[in-house]
Amino acid sequence: MTELADYSDLSTVYSHATDHIITGGKGSELYTTEGKTLLDFTSGIGVNSTGHCHPRVIAAIKEQADKLIFAQINIVYNEPVAKLCAQLKRVMPEALDTYFFSNSGAEAVEGAVKLAKHASGKPNIIVLHGSFHGRTHLTMAMTTSKTVYRLKYPNLPAGIYVAPYPYAYASGRTEEEETAYALAELELLLSTQTAPEETAAIVVEPVLGEGGYLPASKGYLQGLRDLCDKHGIMMICDEVQTGFGRTGKMFAHTYDDVTPDIMTMAKGLGSGMPISGIAYKAELGKKWITGTHGGTYACNPMAAAAAAATIETLIDEKLVENAMERGAQLMAGLKALQKKYPCIGDVRGRGLMIGIELMDGERPDTALPGKILKEVYQRNLLLLSCGMRRNVLRCIPPLVVTEEEIERGLKIIEEALEAVACI
Domains annotated on the chain, with CATH: 22-53+318-419 (3.90.1150.10), 55-316 (3.40.640.10)
Check whether 1 has a pLDDT greater than 80: no
The two counts, helices (H) then strands (E), for the chain are 13, 18
Alpha-helical runs (H) found in 24-147? 43-46, 55-67, 79-91, 105-120, 137-141
pLDDT, tens digit, for every residue of 164-190?
999 999 999 999 999 999 999 999 999
In whole angstroms, give the CA distance from residue 145 to residue 209. 9
Q: Is the dihedral of CA 132, 108, 44, 19 positive or negative?
A: negative
DSSP for 315-362 reads HHTTHHHHHHHHHHHHHHHHHHHHHH-TTEEEEEEETTEEEEEEEETT
pLDDT, tens digit, for every residue of 196-227?
999 999 999 999 999 999 999 999 999 999 99
Spatial contact of 243 and 252, defined as CB atoms under 8 Å apart: yes
In whole angstroms, give the CA distance from residue 104 to residue 94. 24
Q: Is 385 helix (H, G, I), strand (E, B) or coil?
A: strand
- Phi/psi of residue 221, nearest 5 degrees: -65, -40
Average pLDDT of the residues of the chain: 97
Q: Is 52 helix (H, G, I), strand (E, B) or coil?
A: strand
* Closest residue by Cα to residue 307 from 122, 84, 89, 4: 84
Say what the pLDDT of residue 3 is: 56
Spatial contact of 106 and 133, defined as CB atoms under 8 Å apart: yes
pLDDT average, residue stretch 73-99: 97
pTM of the predicted protein model: 0.97
In whole angstroms, give the CA distance from residue 354 to residue 330. 8
For β-strands 392-395 and 98-102, DSSP reports them as: unpaired
Say what the pLDDT of residue 422 is: 80
pLDDT, tens digit, for every residue of 8-63?
899 999 999 999 999 999 999 999 999 999 999 999 999 999 999 999 999 999 99
